[in-house]
């Protein structure tokens, strides 16, 4: 589809297809950056007076106030300003900033406020070599979303054995497949091998674990057997921010556990951990709390 969502015929030239993708991504990033710039411009004269009185601290304070509704923090804004300066931007004094400086700041802030990762979907319909022609300033992952859905449904129906992220699948000898279905599956197998998988798991992993810096923690009731009260092994997996504390993990399980937190026990080392202990990716955690 085009930027307005209207269906269009697939491009046949890889360079043209890549240019079309880049155009859509640029459209989106420009819209976000212009929105951020408009938020900054609103009340900028008041911000300038604060900067003149308080210096860098005043600038950070004003920007946090203006952008807190978008999820901005002092650290994020500080990183955006540092990135601009390290990139060779001579920002000068804020009260002398014009459209160029505001646009540059909005672009740098957008990377932190709205990190983008593009799913280049329907790769099987794109001309061969399109990814080699694609040049973006955001991350991009080639995907075959329709194929991923079809394979999952076939797996759920018992027609194949497929696990998300695999580059192939198995067809049981007794699978009740028609000739047309077998032909379609062989086409999918070829496309999977060519693309190295559907890209869906790679995309989610990149967004969740790399861009958003999340980790996975496993809360359990029995730290020795890693089970819950019903005997299920590792029944829950919590995706949480990197650096989260044991007490905060307890709150993700239930607010009462966080309020009554006493201690945690690392299921791998059997070591007792306190409320401020930072859990790590893959930790198994038993929570002791007042009830």
**Residues 76 and 154 reside in one and the same domain:** no
CA–CA gap between residue 165 and residue 204 (Å, rounded): 10
Q: How many domains does the chain have?
A: 3
pTM for the structure as a whole: 0.77
Choose the final residue of a domain: 206, 226, 252. Answer: 206
Per the CB < 8 A criterion, the answer to whether 11 and 126 are in contact is: yes
Determine the pLDDT at residue 247: 97
Choose the final residue of a domain: 67, 93, 113. Answer: 113
Domain containing 241 — which CATH number? 3.10.20.30
Domain containing 97 — which CATH number? 1.10.8.470
Determine the pLDDT at residue 1: 64
**Residues 238 and 256 reside in one and the same domain:** yes
Locus of tokens 């920002």:
91
CA–CA gap between residue 264 and residue 289 (Å, rounded): 9
CA 248, distance to chain mean position in Å, is 21
| Residue 122 included in any domain | no
In the predicted model, residues of the chain with pLDDT beneath 70 are 1-3, 10
| Positive or negative: CA dihedral 179, 182, 184, 187 | negative
| Residue 9 included in any domain | no
**Residues 37 and 108 reside in one and the same domain:** yes
**Residue 132: how many other CB atoms lie within 10 Å:** 10
**Residues 188 and 220 reside in one and the same domain:** no
**Residues 147 and 195 reside in one and the same domain:** yes
**Residues 24 and 86 reside in one and the same domain:** yes
| Residue 133 included in any domain | no
Number of H helices, E strands in the chain: 11, 7
| Residue 121 included in any domain | no
Locus of tokens 């650290």:
75
Cβ burial 99-122 (10 Å sphere, 16+ → b, else e) = eebbbbbbbbbbbbbbebebbbbe
| Residue 118 included in any domain | no
**Residue 286 DSSP SS3:** strand
**Residues 31 and 102 reside in one and the same domain:** yes
Determine the pLDDT at residue 94: 81
Structural domain boundaries enclosing 156: 143-206
Q: pLDDT tens digits for 115-158?
A: 999 999 988 888 888 889 998 888 999 999 999 999 999 999 99
**Residues 91 and 20 reside in one and the same domain:** yes
Determine the pLDDT at residue 2: 64
| Residue 126 included in any domain | no
**Residues 48 and 104 reside in one and the same domain:** yes
Choose the final residue of a domain: 206, 232, 254. Answer: 206
């Amino acid at each position: 589809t085009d930027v307005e969502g209207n269906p269009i015929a697939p491009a046949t030239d890889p360079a043209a297809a890549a240019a079309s993708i880049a155009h859509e991504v640029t459209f989106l990033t420009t819209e976000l950056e212009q929105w951020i710039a408009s938020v900054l411009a609103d009340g900028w004269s008041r911000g300038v007076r604060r900067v003149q009185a308080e210096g860098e601290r005043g600038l950070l304070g004003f920007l946090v106030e203006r952008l807190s509704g978008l999820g901005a923090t002092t650290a994020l804004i500080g990183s955006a300003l540092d990135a601009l300066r390290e990139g060779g931007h001579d920002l000068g004094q804020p009260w002398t900033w014009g459209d160029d400086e505001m646009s540059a700041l909005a672009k740098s802030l957008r990377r932190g406020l709205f990190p983008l990762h593009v799913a280049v979907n329907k790769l099987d319909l794109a001309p061969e070599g399109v990814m080699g022609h694609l040049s973006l300033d955001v991350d991009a992952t080639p995907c075959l979303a329709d194929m991923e859905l079809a394979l999952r449904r076939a797996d759920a129906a018992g027609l194949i054995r497929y696990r998300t992220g695999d580059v192939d699948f198995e067809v049981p000898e007794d699978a009740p497949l028609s000739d047309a279905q077998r032909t379609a599956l062989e086409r999918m197998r070829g496309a999977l091998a060519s693309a190295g998988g559907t890209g869906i798991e790679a995309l989610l992993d990149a967004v969740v674990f790399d861009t958003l810096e999340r980790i996975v923690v496993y809360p359990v009731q029995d730290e020795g057997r890693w089970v819950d009260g019903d005997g299920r092994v590792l029944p829950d997996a919590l995706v949480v921010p990197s650096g989260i504390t044991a007490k905060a993990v307890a709150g993700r399980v239930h607010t009462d556990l966080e309020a009554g937190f006493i201690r945690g026990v690392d299921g791998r080392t059997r070591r007792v951990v306190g409320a401020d202990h930072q859990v790590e990716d893959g930790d198994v955690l038993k929570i002791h709390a007042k009830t």
